[in-house]
Amino acid sequence: MKQLLQSLKTGATEVADVPAPRAGQGQVLVQTSRTLVSAGTERMLVEFGKSNLIDKARQQPDKVKMVLEKVRTDGLAATLDAVRSKLDQPLALGYCNAGTVLESHAAGFAAGDRVVSNGQHAGIVAVPQNLCARIPDGVSDDSAVFTVLAAIGLQGIRLASPTLGECVVVTGLGLIGLLTVQMLRAQGCRVMGIDLEPERLELARQFGAETVNPGAGDDVLARAASFSRGRGVDAVLITASTKSNEPVSQAARMCRKRGRIVLVGVTGLELSRADFYEKELSFQVSCSYGPGRYDPAYEQGGQDYPVGFVRWTEQRNFEAVLDMMAAGSIDTSALVSHRFDIDDGANAMSLLTSGEPSLGILLDYPAPADKAGASVARRVALPGAASRGQPSASAGRIGVLGAGNYASRVLIPAFKAAGAELHTLASAGGVSAVHFGRKFGFRNAVTDADEIFADPQIDTVVIATRHDAHARQVLAALRAGKHVFCEKPLCLTLDELAEIEAEAAARPGQHLMVGFNRRFAPQIVKMKALLDTVSEPKSFIITVNAGDIPPDHWTQDLDVGGGRIIGEACHFIDLARHLAGHPIVSARAISVGAHPGQPVRSDKTSITLEFADGSVASIHYLANGHKSFPKERIEAFAACRVLQLDNYRTLRGWGWPGFSKMGSTKQDKGVNDAIQRFLQQVRGGTGTPIPAAETVETSRVTIELAESLSE
């Protein structure tokens, strides 16, 4: 299928061939017929992409602060790599989509339904059920595709709470502003529109608004006073996009006492207290389509808000807009200024910054080859695949599940450097699989993991997906006769672990390795060699300044990410087990006490491990530290000697004959060496990078600790 993508690095847009996504539980798969370019948002993204690094930094000062903190902790080279990687990722544009349901895995929708959604500029989209609404008969796709933008204006209206007969000002008559004018008129309000462009002012007049053009010398405040019959306007909705503070200041001065101002667009926010204080004005910023926006439980989890408590969610706002279109209260025909086929999507985006006047830009998509959806293709051959000829006969031909940040920045480059043959890359949406597949030289990009399991040319599967998928995918890969490299964690439950252990034991010719890479870091290798010269029990202190992650992040969800103990602290349990060199005989964990400001406690935990030889380890996995403090510190005390490793850059020793310091300008956590050794094993080499018993032991102890904390 065709999809419109933008480079954050250069701002360039392209129409790429991307495999169709799969619809998960609670989602619908939609064959797109029409999408609408959001001139404001998408122009901003294009302009941001075309700006240089300094201008990008100026536009995102908070990100600059994060970069500087990372330089202090991880070094300049690692930080530059992270920034370049972030800018290298393509952005899937668009959020106004109309089409027909091909597959439904969500209640309330069926194949053949016409729907609107916040889907992207793509031939086929997978959308959560709460971000879709059925299109009524009689509403064309050309009209319905304006629903999402209209819902943004509608949510601003709901916050302003206008009543019949009130006078309301709309500042900024772009698409959202003009749609807002129509909805206010349908609600029985008197409306005045403010803009600088005569064509948009004329449209607002056609929709029943009085208009003001400050660019033509109109006195906005005087006109507002006349419009409100000298009383001051009841409410102002600001749908403009500008860095100026003037729209808010102007709104405050034209409002009556206790008037309402709602910011729907983007403006400067240096407010005058006097303007608001003397009139007791209210000021609110509207959040996109309405309640539910940016709530993962609502948007991705499909958990609706009870109508008795939240009457208007974002989905219900979609429905209300569509009902108004069906009743003829919203007319979009005059809002369309340009039309392009999706193949010309790049030209449509260039129009945004060309200086040529535009308003509603529609993208048309070809009709499906058949209504049964047989045209859905979930595999795309990447450029250069044919020229590479047939795959070689050597082992180490990999299929990678997941093309997220860690896979693209760390795992895939490491496998390529180790000489693996990159065959197929899979991602849920397909965009990242195509982008990084082209970048690293994969043959195919897919959105269906089964294509990798079923491909006889692939002998090794690399798993870098969300944690709840790991066990299922490890088992599927093993049963398909593949070797498996699974980024931690191996699984989330003891039942899953038992099933994997049994499956792996029954297949001794297939290799399974978990990405516990820290034991292969150069300084850890040196630590291990030094510690192995000491026979008496050792004491380890591992301090992890993990950094705070929002409680609604997927890693904190016990069903999806397993929580940060299973998802991340497993690294350090494995590291302690490796350095001690003996089985864990006892494990305990305690988290900080309950506090209203800390809804998640498990990521602020101290873990104590005891080993069979009498060694002990204290692992402090803490998310409540400062970002400027080093992320990881490993200390070992043994035989009146001490080793201390700071952030995998500097290892210091006290009391060790012939050793005092080992430094590095670049952080190395052992990923490359771990993958090199795994591939050597796959290709018939001797020696096991991580003994299977230790992998199972670490996984079991980690899960048990996480369960004890949750109890």
Q: Are 285 and 266 in contact (CB under 8 A)?
A: no
- CA–CA separation, 20 vs 202, rounded Å? 42
Tokens standing for residue 259: 């008037």
Interstrand relation of 616-622 and 539-545 (parallel, antiparallel or unpaired): parallel
Q: Are 423 and 370 in contact (CB under 8 A)?
A: no
Fold exhibited by the domain 149-285: Rossmann fold (3.40.50)
HSE of 616, CA atoms in CB hemisphere, 13 A? 4
Tell me the pLDDT tens digit for each residue of 25-46. Answer: 999 999 999 999 987 777 767 6
DSSP 532: T
Q: What pLDDT sits at residue 686?
A: 72
Instruction: Find, among 296, 287, 284, 227, the residue nearest to 256 by Cα.
Output: 227
Strand partners, 340: 363
Instruction: Report domain extents, the chain.
Output: 2-146+332-364, 149-285, 379-511, 518-710
Check whether 689 has a pLDDT greater than 90: yes
Question: DSSP string covering 599-623, please?
Answer: S--TTEEEEEEEETTS-EEEEEEES
Tell me the pLDDT tens digit for each residue of 78-105. Answer: 666 666 666 677 889 999 999 999 999 9
Lowest mean pLDDT segment, chosen from 68-72, 262-266, 288-292, 614-618: 68-72
The CA-based dihedral angle spanning residues 702, 603, 629, 699, taken in that order and rounded to the nearest 10 degrees = 10
Check whether 294 has a pLDDT greater than 70: yes
The reply to whether 518-710 shares the fold of 379-511 is no
Q: What pLDDT sits at residue 705?
A: 97
- CATH code of the domain made up of 518-710: 3.30.360.10
- Between 628 and 501, the more confident residue is 501
Q: At what angle do helices 76-88 and 61-74 cross, to 10 degrees?
A: 140
Q: Candidates 3.90.25.10, 3.40.50.720, 3.40.190.10, 2.40.30.110; correct CATH number of 379-511?
A: 3.40.50.720
2-146+332-364: what CATH class? alpha beta
Q: What pLDDT sits at residue 386?
A: 58
Mean pLDDT of the chain: 92
Q: What pLDDT sits at residue 700?
A: 98
Q: Which residues contact 25 (CB under 8 A, 6 or more apart)?
A: 105
Tell me the pLDDT tens digit for each residue of 327-377. Answer: 999 999 999 999 999 999 999 999 988 888 899 999 999 987 655 544 688
Check whether 391 has a pLDDT greater than 90: no
